[in-house]
């Protein structure tokens, strides 16, 4: 009798573990993150204001010499290399981009290219 009870308990525990949870990724529904959610996943504490500032800086500072590319046209790693290179070039040409601005631009581009 004790043995049977133990077996039932073990089966119950195994079954509980095998039951998929509601937030399981094994469903067909693809979870689409908003821009802000993606930014916060990559950068804890990232805010809507950070995102907007990054966008404004990209649209103004990075358009000083050439047209800007769509953020999704490059990979996150490519942007991480391009932004410091371009900021250095911009500073050399007396169009200053501060370290803080460079960071906001990078986060904005990496966020959008990660989606
Ligand atoms: C001072 C002028 C100037 C500013 C400001 C500037 N760029 Fe550029 N950019 C250039 C020049 C010149 C080239 C082409 C030569 C090269 O690739 O180094 C270029 C090329 C590029 C390319 C193509 C290179 C590639 O690897 O595909 C990208 C992307 C780019 N810039 C992004 C940016 C971003 C992002 C910013 C803002 C952080 C920015 N640029 C600001 C002058 C500038």
Q: What is the CA radius of gyration of the chain?
A: 24
15 pLDDT band, cuts 50/70/90, is very low
Structure tokens at 100: 């803080």
Say how far apart CA 54 and CA 13 lie, in whole Å: 50
Comparison of pLDDT for 14 and 31, the residue scoring more? 31
93 CB near ligand 1 (under 6 Å): yes
Share of the chain above pLDDT 90, in %: 71
Residue 46 has pLDDT above 80, yes or no: yes
Find the 62 Cα to ligand 1 centroid distance in Å.
Answer: 7
**Cβ(12) to ligand 1 under 6 A?**
no
CB 101 within 8 A of CB 61: yes
Is pLDDT above 80 for 34? yes
Greater confidence (21 vs 102) lies with 102
87 lines ligand 1 (CB under 6 A): yes
């Amino acid at each position: 009798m004790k043995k049977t009870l133990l077996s039932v308990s073990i089966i119950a525990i195994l079954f509980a573990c095998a039951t998929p949870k509601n937030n399981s990724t094994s469903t067909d529904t693809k979870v689409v993150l908003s821009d802000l959610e993606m930014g916060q996943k990559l950068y804890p504490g990232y805010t809507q204001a950070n995102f907007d500032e990054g966008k404004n800086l990209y649209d103004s500072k990075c358009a000083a010499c050439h047209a800007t590319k769509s953020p999704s046209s490059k990979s996150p790693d490519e942007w991480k290399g391009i932004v410091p290179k371009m900021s250095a070039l911009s500073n050399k040409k007396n169009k200053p981009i501060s370290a803080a601005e460079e960071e906001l631009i990078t986060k904005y581009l990496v966020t959008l290219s990660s989606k």
